[in-house]
Amino acid sequence: MPHSPDPARQPLLADTTDHQRRQSACSQYHGSPPPAVPAAGSTTFTPTFGAAAAYGILVSIVIGSGVFTSPGSIDTNVPSPGMALVMWLLGGILAWAGANALAELGTAIPGEGGVQPYLQYIYGDVFGFLAAWTWIVAVMPATLAILSIVFVESIYSVLGVTDHAARLTHKLLSILVLVLVTLANSISTKASTRLSGFFLATKFASIILIVVAGISVVVLQTSDPDRTDIGGRDWFVRPWFGTRKTANQDGSTTDWDDMSSWDMLGHYSAAIYAALWAYSGWDKASEAIYISSELKNPSKQLPLTINTAIPTIFLCFFVANASYYILLPWKVVSTSDSVAVTAISRLLGVKFGFLAAALICLVVAGSILGNSLVVGRMVVSAANKGWFPRPFAVIGRVGLASTCKQQQQQHHDSDHDHPPEGQRGTTFDAPVNAMILSVVLTALYILFGNFRALLTFNGLGEYTFFFLTVLGVIILRYREPKLHRPYKPYTVVPVIFAVVSGFVTVRGAVFAPVQAFILIALWVVGLVIYWVKARWFTAS
């Protein structure tokens, strides 16, 4: 049976007014009745989108920095460039299957907040809490750390430096980038939202630049096979699926002929995580907060959107990555964490390399900006639920939470004061305390991690819960066969995702035990916090 709606079960990212947040917090800590909450299935947004608009939203969400940064992490974990492209295909299939499976949940259990409300509905509160906890303390900080590292490494790649990412100076510069972008976010939520539109155009310009460069090299080298002054020659003279020794960033090489099938599967799982990092955002296709609650006819338009957008995204990724192998010697691809910048620099020179680096850095900065905004909102919502300390719910200033009386007076003043037209909308609205927490956690990941280890850590954190969510699709079909499902893909679709993602998660954890241990430790801490909170509230 569906759970009854109550404040503790509302999605982490569900949109509420500031007044509702203040009322909820006051009632939680002072014993007054909680405010009314939206009925189950209600959403914040008005259905206004058509399939074409939703298609554009999904493509713009998924295509980000990953297509420029993941190729090296994939290449170092596969025996050939051809297998690297296969990993991109498998990642696309997994994203497509997962998006379709979540679309079933998104139309059957309308709500806002990603996989959290689905997990709560299927498994209970503790799973919803653990999902929120994992995203706040693991997935989002790791994501921000990866992006900050990539920003710095893109600049160094122009200068031919691709193997110094572990140096303290690089890490400190990455933290500096994080702090600066977070400060930009802290100025105003509206201001940062306006900036995101500018960053959107840069990602498409960057992909076009890479693909055009690759096509140019193909044309020039096929018309003059002896020409060696542009691009790489490996794509022209070596078999794309021929096993080769792979160069690693630490100077070692991987000999695939001497590797067991079990160990090779471990490398493949790491490669798929790197590909899935590029596809990250597919889950938002079916989340009501992004699309399904805003489509005019979600049961028809949502599958149409997914089944056209994901293939388009895969095509962009496939062509761009094929271009990298055309533009660069294959041994270079596996050692660079900023393949796009390296490729343009070697082809067109340092000046154009700086141009490419500037474009990539803009794309990355836009991703940092957006993710920083999201994690701040996540922390505030979690604090309003009582899952995090109350000061993290404070908006607009640094410090402890104000009293309920002060909060109510502030809301009363905001309702009755009418500033001049030119002064409206200037309220400082950033969740500063939440952003400080995010910066601190992310800085720790930057200092003690590296790009490729964080990719695997991020993948383990995300896909554990994606696996559980899509497994829940299958469970609900047997547990609640009469649940209204406006969109219901063939059973094989969620089964494919559950089997592949389950295997990749387990094999990835065995292949990367340190990352798995840290993640499990964080879950244990989260469960202890959840248990203590539950006992404390029950006792009070």
Structure tokens at 67: 């297509």
Question: For residues 165-187, b (16+ Cβ closer than 10 Å) or e, as one string?
Answer: beeeebbebbbebbeebbebbbe
Question: For 155-196, what is each residue's pLDDT tens digit?
Answer: 887 776 666 667 888 899 999 999 988 887 666 555 555 555
Pick from 307, 304, 301, 346: nearest CA to 323: 346
183 in a structural domain: yes
Pick from 216, 210, 200: nearest CA to 362: 200
Position 373 confidence tier, pLDDT thresholds 50, 70, 90:
confident
Q: Which residues pair with 49 in a beta bridge?
A: 295
In one letter, which amino acid is 323?
S
35 in a structural domain: no
CATH number at residue 133: 1.20.1740.10
Name, of 231-235, 294-298, 470-474, 529-533, the range with top average pLDDT.
470-474
Phi, psi angles (nearest 5°) of residue 422: -70, -15
Q: Lowest-pLDDT range, 161-175, 189-203, 272-286, 455-469?
A: 189-203
115 in a structural domain: yes
Residue owning tokens 């494919």: 496
Model pLDDT, residue 188:
53
Structure tokens at 217: 């090299």
The number of angstroms, rounded, from the C-alpha of 143 to the middle of its chain's C-alpha atoms is 7
8 in a structural domain: no
The DSSP output letter for 295 is B
Pick from 211, 158, 210, 203: nearest CA to 346: 158
Burial (CB count within 10 angstroms: exposed 0-12, middle 13-18, buried 19+), residue 426: exposed
Cα–Cα distance list, 455 to 66, 403, 500, 511 (Å): 10, 41, 18, 13
DSSP output for 302-336? HHHHHHHHHHHHHHHHHHHHHHHHHHS-HHHHTT-
315 in a structural domain: yes
Q: Lowest-pLDDT range, 83-87, 206-210, 382-386, 404-408?
A: 404-408
Q: How far apart are CA 65 and CA 341, in angstroms?
A: 12
Phi, psi angles (nearest 5°) of residue 490: -55, 145
Residue owning tokens 């905001």: 414
The DSSP output letter for 253 is E
Model pLDDT, residue 424:
45
Beta-carbon count within 10 A of 276 CB: 27
Position 122 confidence tier, pLDDT thresholds 50, 70, 90:
very high
64 in Cβ contact with 206 (< 8 Å): no
47 in Cβ contact with 296 (< 8 Å): yes
Position 334 confidence tier, pLDDT thresholds 50, 70, 90:
confident
Question: For 129-150, what is each residue's pLDDT tens digit?
Answer: 999 899 999 999 999 999 999 8
519 in a structural domain: yes
The pTM score is: 0.79
Pick from 139, 101, 106, 133: nearest CA to 121: 106
Q: Which residues pair with 246 in a beta bridge?
A: 254
Model pLDDT, residue 479:
94
The count of domains in the chain is 1
42 in a structural domain: no
pLDDT averaged over the chain? 78
Model pLDDT, residue 14:
47
Pick from 114, 123, 126: nearest CA to 14: 114
Question: For 385-428, what is each residue's pLDDT tens digit?
Answer: 777 888 887 876 666 655 444 444 444 444 444 444 444 444 55
pLDDT at 253 over 60: yes
Q: Which residues pair with 253 in a beta bridge?
A: 247
The more confident residue out of 242 and 111 is: 242
Q: How far apart are CA 413 and CA 418, in angstroms?
A: 9
Q: Is residue 439 helix, strand or coil?
A: helix
**Structural domain of 482:** 48-402+428-539
330 in Cβ contact with 147 (< 8 Å): no
Q: How far apart are CA 250 and CA 132, in angstroms?
A: 35
134 in a structural domain: yes
Position 44 confidence tier, pLDDT thresholds 50, 70, 90:
very low
**Helix axis angle, 451-479 relative to 116-123, nearest 10°?**
40
143 in Cβ contact with 370 (< 8 Å): no
Model pLDDT, residue 65:
77
